[in-house]
Amino acid sequence: MTDSRRALPSIGLLLESAGVRALLETMPRDLVVSAVRDVVERARDNVAAAPMTTGAWSDAVATQVTQVTQVRRSSLRRVINATGIVLHTNLGRAPLSRAALDAVLRVGAGYTTLEYDLARGTRGSRYTHCASLLRELTGAEDALVVNNCAAALVLALNTLALGRDAVLSRGELVEIGGSFRVHEIMERSGARLREVGATNRTHLADYASAIDNGTGALLKVHRSNFALEGFVCDVDVRDLVPLARRHDLPIVHDLGSGLLISLASIGLDGEPTAREALNAGASVVVMSGDKLLGGPQAGIILGGIEYLSAMRSNPLARSYRVDKLTLAALEATLAVYREPDRALREIPALALLGASASELHSRATRTRNALNAAGIDATVIASTSSVGAGAFPQTELPSTAVALPGNADQWTSKLRSGDPAVVGRVRDGHALLDMRAVPDDEIDLLIERVIAAHD
Ligand SMILES: *Cc1c(COP(=O)(O)O)cnc(C)c1O
């Protein structure tokens, strides 16, 4: 028997082969050299399985390079959202505006006035940032920003109703995805949940008869991801106000998504803005920063000075405090809302939701034409998209999609493994790329990824 180890090529020889030289044109040299070493090492350990031809050797090296780069890739990766769901919680909800990103860069790269008062040269408060803008944009007396809306709700209830009852309609026991239920989060605040009414109908008298000496607050939770229809009845905040006044109880309104301006001009109607919720008489309104507001993850608390200063001095506020990057992004996002038309254009979530049928169609035809030219038999079809993240749950937004030919599972798994990954949707056995959440400036990249997934 001959010593088959002799048959193994040297590392230098492999680096000179055409296949590996081609790899070196796009990949860092140290990465390729170490892949060549690994492949030769493995062949030495298992000579029977060693590649037989030069081509097979360079294929093995290429596979090794791919595996190593996948391991080295960061875990939080960029995704092109072709699902048609604009505020997709699993894909990070709202994309940030240019203004917000610039602010993050400016503030994150150095030191800031996070807790420093430049006028006095003394310690300042992190809570002053965003507060005046929020007051201006919503008419609230006072405002506080925490980590997210769930934290805002816990902080509000822990401050206002610790050890006492928070009265909530059975029609508002909302589960918000990831199997978290708003009322279960609330109970951890130390407030006792007092459910009233029936699933479909709750009356003012139900709230009234639940109130006693142990009541701390009345609670309204926005039905953010479902709708009740048929024989239904509930009580508006406006109608709860006289009852709350009589018993000197605060009304806490969890708006969830939280609009700052009306979106009726882009066809989204029927949810209250933060200003409207406050005007209706809520003592405290809580909402998310990264849903329809279109900013970073944050919980925004609006309401009367006496309630909010009590929340600020609650030790829990410390554990829910936000980072400077969040404050920078939120402040810049809020500033855009001073001009509502600019917000509709420049806040990405709003711009995507407001895209016209012809814009969506032109994104789709551009994509299809490029794919057709690359030999992929894609077609343009009508589709429906949605807002997502618990806002306008019943609204279906007409959209346009590109349907890819052939095996849907193969497409979706290949598109997911690219960089950036593309996450689409499957309908009737076809892989679809919905154009609603793909901005114009991402179309070329989308086309490139689809062609790469096809090869
Ligand atoms: C989304 C939502 C929440 C949770 O908001 P986060 O910012 O994700 O913590 C709470 N309440 C309602 C009604 C919601 O829709």
C-alpha separations of 322 from 6, 14, 200, 327, 337 in Å: 63, 53, 37, 7, 21
Residues 70-102 have pLDDT tens digits of 777 788 999 999 999 999 999 999 999 999 999
pLDDT recorded at residue 1: 43
CATH number reported for the structural domain that contains residue 450 in this entry: 3.90.1150.110
For 62, the token pair is 């290429």
The answer to whether residues 398 and 297 belong to one domain is no
Residue 1 within a domain: no
pLDDT recorded at residue 395: 82
- The response to whether residue 221 sits with its C-beta less than 6 Å from ligand 1 reads yes
| Distance separating alpha carbons of residues 269 and 271, to the nearest angstrom | 6
The answer to whether residues 243 and 274 belong to one domain is yes
Atom 2 of ligand 1, residue of closest alpha carbon = 256
| Averaged confidence pLDDT in the chain | 92
Task: Tell me the mean pLDDT in the region 396-424.
Answer: 95
Q: What is the DSSP letter of 231?
A: S
The answer to whether residues 18 and 118 belong to one domain is no
Residues 240-265 have pLDDT tens digits of 999 999 999 999 999 988 899 999 99
The answer to whether residues 435 and 316 belong to one domain is no
Residue 228 within a domain: yes
pLDDT recorded at residue 178: 66
| Distance separating alpha carbons of residues 288 and 153, to the nearest angstrom | 10
Domain boundary among 346, 378, 406: 346
CA 299 – ligand 1 centroid, Å: 9
CATH number reported for the structural domain that contains residue 255 in this entry: 3.40.640.10
Say whether pLDDT at 224 is over 80. Answer: no
- The response to whether residue 176 sits with its C-beta less than 6 Å from ligand 1 reads yes
The answer to whether residues 170 and 249 belong to one domain is yes
The answer to whether residues 155 and 297 belong to one domain is yes
H/E element, 123: strand 122-123
Residue 3 within a domain: no
Say whether pLDDT at 225 is over 80. Answer: no
pLDDT recorded at residue 240: 97
- The response to whether residue 299 sits with its C-beta less than 6 Å from ligand 1 reads yes
- pLDDT: is 82 or 175 the higher one? 82
**pLDDT grade for 157, boundaries at 50, 70 and 90:** very high
Report CA torsion sign: 267, 269, 273, 276: positive
**Pocket perturbation via mutation, ligand 1, pick of 149, 221, 222 by most ligand atoms within 8 A of CB:** 149
What's the pTM value of the predicted model, to 2 decimals?
Answer: 0.87
pLDDT recorded at residue 230: 81
- The response to whether residue 447 sits with its C-beta less than 6 Å from ligand 1 reads no
Say whether pLDDT at 195 is over 80. Answer: yes
- The response to whether residue 150 sits with its C-beta less than 6 Å from ligand 1 reads yes
What domain count does the chain have? 3
Residue type, position 193, single letter: L
DSSP bridge partners of 422: 80
Domain extent at residue 215: 96-346
